Structure 1
């Protein structure tokens, strides 16, 4: 139970809480005008200060006070004793604890010589003392969080779904924490949600593999099998080549000899090409003499006449002498071409024989070399074999990964089925208790709206699935009263089983938009519930939202812990910031 909230600044009037019903009321002060308002009077700020002392994060509206050196102190019952926890708004990484001496031994592992405790250790102590949560929060591991549990107890938002603390809360988180508050096996929800996440991951990988969106190492099994078979054949071929390889030391310099013979063959073939072209040219010239190269008698006469004009008769021989010389020149040319043609053909025949012998010699050398190879060639083949072997190992690893992935996916499917069965058995074993919870919730909704309200639990792939339904229109007021009835149900059912701290805090937003008749019924319901269960209810309200009949009730008057007037400077904190 919460006892008191105070500050190190005197402008803030301490608020003392009592068992049962407690309300902080914003009222209209004497002489208030239309310019005054019961809103923004610090009601929410008070709840934020309490939440901060209980290990919560610093709310933005409180941040400016940290610069001025503000701190708050919350007194509460914890571990059967009264304790006080003080936390600075600036910094605030540690809290100062004041506690009775009989708790010194239990708190010694968590506090330092100045009796201060870290925020994380304080959260653990709150989880242990308020919710019997005897394990640290599993950060990032989908475990139960004391702070999340406290968010079901301290409501500053009127969410549409009472099963959640904020609209964005993941399904696994809301299911786990509601299951814990109802004293069900929340670990089944945790384990199933983890398996569901793994299953979704495997499914995503499988889809990406089929669409070739992943690296080559992750491909469909049939494709890898084909590639493996091809790689194994290539490796076997290389292994056979290595095992049958004979190294030739080449003592007779066979490789160089083969190179020299090849070079000689190249030169001879070039010479043969030149000779063949000359033979073709000479043969063509003999068989088809070009008439343009043999001038006729008339051409010579004309030439001779032209020469007579240019030279004196004594300088020129007779035309007959010139004609005889021309015929002799042509005859000598034919004899030269015939002789040269015969020589080239004879030379070509000898060269062809030489080429034939060189080819035979080279083939003989190559035959010897083909029986083995040099060490460099063997090293190259062995290197290819190493690469081929690595490729086989790479494909085998990829194939193993794909098969392991498929096996893991099947294992997850089997584990999910087993956990679902276990969850169903746990639900069946707790059915009577859940029926009692549902019946309490239904009675509360009947009292407020004369309509049935259903709180059900079933099992799906994420474990327990809780559902709230009310057989009336889902107006804003009805939605908020669902939240109030659900929270009261959790407190009444969980307090006796030590899975609920026994106090409940609602900000005024929970009553926004609710018909005055339902507000009156709701406050009366709260009063009876906390009185019967021994719990504590704290709320903030504007006086104009409270029906006059309720305000005249003794229990409401006695439960009013602080009245803040709309004319009061600085509101509850007594300061403007």
Structure 2
């Protein structure tokens, strides 16, 4: 229960609240001019303060961020489980919530607190505070929070403390103008005791459908041609590549690895060089052998008769020079010829031996060359094996990539039919869940109808419907669609929620309505709403806080025994400059 709302600002008027129905009233003073208005007296600001302290996101344009409140804290004094404590928050350290007590001890709440010794308060983070509030007010601790989309304290709370500035008073099923459909479905399912996880799954399907739509758009525009191909083309590429891989695997299985392959290659090169050298050398020496054999044939004694005649003639001409006898000359010449023949014969023998030896070497080298060539033709080198293996691995990686691309292409091709099936199956589950909870749903519908019947001759209807886009919890009413009717539908919806929650044992025990809810409503309906609100608050033990201008109170239509003035909280606000909630205008 909220006991008090106040601030560290010295001029702030701190309204106090009691159990049951409470009215924060703004009076119009006799000195008020036409230009003065009660719209800035702080009625809606009270709602903003409550939401701010109860973990709302920091609104940069909100009043609490203005320079006039720099360093100030806004506080809510509340009582739970017999313990009264104060929660405070300010714009200076907007991510902190301050407490005047160790609520982790006094209320046994699972929250880590630190102490700010400067202001002598305990504090935690806003996020931790929201988790505690979710567990305490709505038992969200029992919820499976692994899901991507879950009920949240702020969404649940915003149905019970609606903010006009956020568009929370436009229609019953939405707590804010920008509230997404999935958030509405999940949180209302939770509040009405239905399986909210089905609505969470429905949003996952919507996400997939959206992603598929964007993907198909990108494919159509050609942005993903390098990644995604037509499944038929990919299947053909995979078949061709699998054939090549099978062939490569067979080649590797029959591959005869020769570790000394490179040594044999080097030896074969050397053999070739030596063979060419031997052949060239033999060719040269065979030519030399022919020359030697020709020379030995020509190395014979000359015609001695002619030589003798020449000798006699020389003796007559050069008697002093030619002194030796002819037979001595003949002996000498025969000696020279004989020695030359011996030399030539020895050279011929040497050359023949050399050619023969080289021929044997050529034969030996040729045999070795043939052996190595046969070996290299039937075996492979390690480098060659590794290259073949690397090529195989590359092809296999390419095949895996193609298979992944085929799966992606197939998934895209089959995605919509699968999503349609998932959507249909989920729709069936939601229908089953509605049927399983038909007793509670009927109770909620009857409660809404009962409340609505106090306001309208033609009652509104709370509907729980299984649609193609998920569960729909809404309000329908025949006839007039005026803003006044819409406001009272919100009133009935909220009253139905808080009464059911209290009946189920929920710790949330207050409902707050801004004066904007009653602005377009007929005075007679306002009277009925006030009486019904007070009765329901008493019956289901919750606090009902209303902000209202004094001239909105329909005294003429209220029952005489209905003491509305006893429900007006202190202080009463006015439309003067210093009479509003903040005590001054800013």
* TM-score, length of structure 2 as denominator length: 0.69
Instruction: Provide closer, same or farther for how the CA distance between residues 377 and 128 of structure 1 changes in structure 2, counting only shifts above 3 A.
Output: closer
User: What displacement does 1:480 show?
Assistant: 1.0
Structure 2 equivalent of residue 453 of structure 1 = 460
Deviations 1:473-506 (A, max 9, x none): 2111111111111001111111121346121111
User: What displacement does 1:464 show?
Assistant: 2.9
User: What displacement does 1:391 show?
Assistant: 2.2
Partners of 1:134 and 1:242 in 2: CA distance: 61
Structure 2 equivalent of residue 555 of structure 1 = 563
Deviations 1:260-301 (A, max 9, x none): xxxxxxxxxxxxxxxxxxxxxxxxxxxxxxxxxxxxxxxxxx
Q: Secondary structure at the match of 2:92?
A: coil
Gaps of 5+ in 2: 116-120, 274-372
Structure 1 equivalent of residue 126 of structure 2 = 119
Instruction: Provide closer, same or farther for how the CA distance between residues 551 and 444 of structure 1 changes in structure 2, counting only shifts above 3 A.
Output: closer
Q: Secondary structure at the match of 2:499?
A: helix
Matched, 1:575 2:584: yes
Q: Secondary structure at the match of 1:392?
A: helix
Matched, 1:545 2:552: yes
Superposition RMSD in Å: 3.9
Structure 1 equivalent of residue 233 of structure 2 = 223
Matched, 1:397 2:404: yes
Instruction: Provide closer, same or farther for how the CA distance between residues 92 and 388 of structure 1 changes in structure 2, counting only shifts above 3 A.
Output: closer
Partners of 1:78 and 1:220 in 2: CA distance: 64
User: What displacement does 1:441 show?
Assistant: 1.4
Structure 1 equivalent of residue 14 of structure 2 = 14
Partners of 2:52 and 2:146 in 1: CA distance: 20
Match among 200, 204, 223 for residue 194 of structure 1: 204
Deviations 1:296-331 (A, max 9, x none): xxxxxxxxxxxxxxxxxxxxxxxxxxxxxxxxxxxx
1:189–1:462 Cα contact (<8 Å) kept: no
The equivalences for 1:84-163 within 5 A come to 84-99=86-101, 103-104=105-106, 106-107=108-109, 109-113=111-115, 115-134=122-141, 138=145, 141-157=148-164, 158-163=168-173
Structure 2 equivalent of residue 280 of structure 1 = none
Gaps of 5+ in 1: 258-367
User: What displacement does 1:200 show?
Assistant: 4.8
User: What displacement does 1:403 show?
Assistant: 5.3
2:111–2:132 Cα contact (<8 Å) kept: no
User: What displacement does 1:118 show?
Assistant: 1.6
Deviations 1:524-566 (A, max 9, x none): 2222221222221111112233324268965321111142111
Instruction: Provide closer, same or farther for how the CA distance between residues 212 and 32 of structure 1 changes in structure 2, counting only shifts above 3 A.
Output: closer
User: What displacement does 1:5 show?
Assistant: 0.9
The equivalences for 1:291-306 within 5 A come to none
Structure 1 equivalent of residue 195 of structure 2 = 185
Instruction: Provide closer, same or farther for how the CA distance between residues 384 and 425 of structure 1 changes in structure 2, counting only shifts above 3 A.
Output: closer
User: What displacement does 1:123 show?
Assistant: 0.9
Partners of 1:475 and 1:149 in 2: CA distance: 26
User: What displacement does 1:120 show?
Assistant: 1.3
Partners of 1:575 and 1:470 in 2: CA distance: 43
Q: Which moved more, 1:545-554 or 1:24-33?
A: 545-554
Higher Rg: 2
Structure 2 equivalent of residue 71 of structure 1 = 73
Partners of 1:100 and 1:390 in 2: CA distance: 62
1:65–1:89 Cα contact (<8 Å) kept: no
Partners of 1:75 and 1:427 in 2: CA distance: 39
User: What displacement does 1:251 show?
Assistant: 8.3
Instruction: Provide closer, same or farther for how the CA distance between residues 498 and 193 of structure 1 changes in structure 2, counting only shifts above 3 A.
Output: farther
The equivalences for 1:321-360 within 5 A come to none
User: What displacement does 1:412 show?
Assistant: 6.3
Q: Secondary structure at the match of 1:188?
A: helix
* TM-score, length of structure 1 as denominator length: 0.70
Partners of 2:105 and 2:246 in 1: CA distance: 76
User: What displacement does 1:17 show?
Assistant: 0.5
User: What displacement does 1:434 show?
Assistant: 1.1
User: What displacement does 1:442 show?
Assistant: 1.9
Q: Secondary structure at the match of 2:155?
A: helix
Partners of 1:100 and 1:117 in 2: CA distance: 11
User: What displacement does 1:423 show?
Assistant: 3.4
Deviations 1:82-140 (A, max 9, x none): 22112223213222223478944724752224532221111112112222222589599
Partners of 1:412 and 1:41 in 2: CA distance: 53
The equivalences for 1:418-437 within 5 A come to 419-437=426-444
Matched, 1:54 2:73: no
Partners of 1:126 and 1:546 in 2: CA distance: 33
Q: Secondary structure at the match of 2:455?
A: helix
Q: Secondary structure at the match of 1:12?
A: coil
Instruction: Provide closer, same or farther for how the CA distance between residues 451 and 551 of structure 1 changes in structure 2, counting only shifts above 3 A.
Output: closer
Structure 1 equivalent of residue 368 of structure 2 = none
